[in-house]
Amino acid sequence: MILTIGNTKGGVGKTTLAVQLAIARALAGRDVWLIDGDRQGTATAAIAARAEAERQPGIACAQYPDGPTLRGQVQQQRGKFDDIIIDAGGRDSTALRAALVLSDVLLVPFAPRSYDVWALDDMAALVDEARSVRDGLRAFAVLNLADAGEHSADNAEAAAAVADVPQFEYLPTPIRRRKAFSNAGGAGLAVAELAPRDPKACGELDALFSAVFNIQITA
Ligand SMILES: Nc1ncnc2c1ncn2[C@@H]1O[C@H](COP(=O)(O)OP(=O)(O)O)[C@@H](O)[C@H]1O
Ligand SMILES: [Mg+2]
């Protein structure tokens, strides 16, 4: 599967979720390639920290903030990997546009505040553009940085707002704001590898992982 985690808005957890899903997929025995499509190189730095700590499995990681380079590399190398996970973002990012045309699945993390929900409209336009080039892109929105309360009105509101954007399906596996996610991400660790283990963070990530990698794709 080629999975892009993208949002034109920053700070919504693209890198955090890309790193978590890539490591979890590698721990499940798959050959994974993580592509950092962001000039800031946050995902690259996390994977470098993982390598520095000699954590196994190591994760193949490359940084292609330039869209045409990303496209060319993925087209050339895709046969070597079971899964490619692309961390792409930025309003003016050519990497995001290139990634969408190549991807089977787009996952858009957003935070439960109205501004972020509106940013889905930006992403919806990009999804339309990608689908005009290549059929079959499946697009999902998932809450990240959700409130800890199980029945938060904010979370329910955000879910309802996704229903107003027909380009997206809502993935009902929210990730909540937890220190385990920020601590693990920076160190290049899966939450399951972090000590002490946060069982709630692990459970949320497992649920997201299962939902994403069980999505039926056409390609
Ligand atoms: N679920 C979460 N719980 C706690 N902190 C989070 C969570 N998701 C992201 N963060 C933190 O929020 C900040 C922005 O996340 P990041 O993944 O870098 O966003 P983006 O890549 O979309 O800009 C980082 O400091 C990250 O550690
Ligand atoms: Mg990022």
Ligand nearest to the CA of 19: 1
Q: What's the domain range around 27?
A: 2-213
- Whether residue 127 is contained in a domain is answered as yes
- Whether residue 6 is contained in a domain is answered as yes
* Mean pLDDT of the 191-212 span: 97
**CB-proximal residues (5 Å) to ion ligand 2:** 14-15, 42
Q: Say yes or no to pLDDT of 79 above 80.
A: yes
Domain count, the chain: 1
Q: Decide: 210 in ligand 1 pocket, CB within 6 A.
A: no
Model-wide pTM > 0.85: yes
> What CATH number should be reported for the domain holding residue 94?
3.40.50.300
- Whether residue 88 is contained in a domain is answered as yes
pLDDT (tens digit per residue) in 80-115: 999 999 999 776 689 999 999 999 999 999 988 766
Per-residue DSSP letters for the chain?
-EEEEEESSSSSSHHHHHHHHHHHHHHTT--EEEEE--TT-HHHHHHHHHHHTT-SS--EEEE--SHHHHHHHHHHHGGG-SEEEEEEE-TT-HHHHHHHHH-SEEEEEE-SSHHHHHHHHHHHHHHHHHHHHSTT-EEEEEE-SB-SSTT-HHHHHHHHHHTT-TT-EE-S---B--HHHHHHHHHT--GGGSSS--HHHHHHHHHHHHHHHT-----
- Whether residue 178 is contained in a domain is answered as yes
pLDDT (tens digit per residue) in 20-32: 999 999 999 999 9
